[in-house]
Amino acid sequence: MLRKSAVILVSILFTALFSTMFFTGCEGNLLTEPAMSESAVLESPMSEDPGIFSLAKGKPVPDTCLTIQSGELLSSTDEVLTTGNDRFGYNYQAHMFNGRYCDNDRVIGGDYCDVNLIMKWNDAWMSNQDCDGDNLLDRHYGYPSYIGSGAWLTNHQSGVNPDGSHWTYFVKIVAAPADANKDNGNWYT
């Protein structure tokens, strides 16, 4: 039971760390039921129509988007992205990670390598293409933050306790909708 509690605590910490490490600019924009962090970036939603510019970066939208198959898209660690699973467990084309918990930070090994982790996300969380011209996968494309974008990410963790019993943990993180209300530093829908 102690191990399960420790893993759940680490899961919560991972979620916070993962959001700030890999999704720069999104701090305070994600909603986990029923309230969200008190430091929201956007007080009112922007139009869903990005027009000819990316609202997120103010760059012209290209006629075509760069895909993983082009061989030109880069990871957050400047590695060229390819289709299929990479050595860490990420399959950006399929919008998922399937590997060891310790490898989700794109560094092999570390703590909690005995925990299996499956993450899935939608295009709004992290796309499998680049439409804003920065050679990185788009995040909340057309929005200055995750708010109102419809973005979501799931984490499904599993492992074995010292007594041989199996445990699982699941969480879904959802971006705050554009019509969310802020009350005492928390966002509600």
How much is the pTM? 0.67
Amino acid at 123: D
Angle at 60 between CA 54 and CA 64, to 5 degrees: 95
The answer to whether 86 and 96 are in contact (CB under 8 A) is no
Instruction: Average the pLDDT over each of 7-21, 118-132, 152-166, 171-185 and give the range with the smallest value.
Output: 7-21
What residues does each domain of the chain span? Answer: 2-188
- pLDDT tens digits for range 26-49: 334 444 433 333 333 333 333 333
Q: Is the pLDDT of residue 68 over 60?
A: yes
Q: What's the 3-state SS for the chain?
A: CHHHHHHHHHHHHHHHHHHHHHCCCCCCCEEECCEECCCCCCCCCCCCCCCCECCCCCCECCCCCEEHHHCCCECCCCCECCCCCCCCCEECCCCEEEEEHHHCCCCCCCCCCCCEEEEEECCCCCCCEECCCCCECCCCCCCCCCCCCCCEEEEEEEEECCCCCEEEEEEEEEECCCCCEEECCEEEC
Instruction: Find which of 53-57, 118-122, 137-141 is predicted with most confidence, using mean pLDDT.
Output: 118-122
Angstrom distance (rounded) from CA 9 to CA 88:
23
Angstrom distance (rounded) from CA 98 to CA 91:
8
Whole-angstrom CA distances from 21 to 11, 15, 27, 71, 179 are 15, 10, 10, 24, 27
Q: Is the pLDDT of residue 74 over 50?
A: yes
Residue 162, preceding peptide bond in cis (omega within 30° of 0) = no
CA 9 to chain centre: 19
* The pair of three-digit structure tokens given for residue 142, joined into one six-digit string: 């057309």
Which H or E element spans position 6? helix 2-22
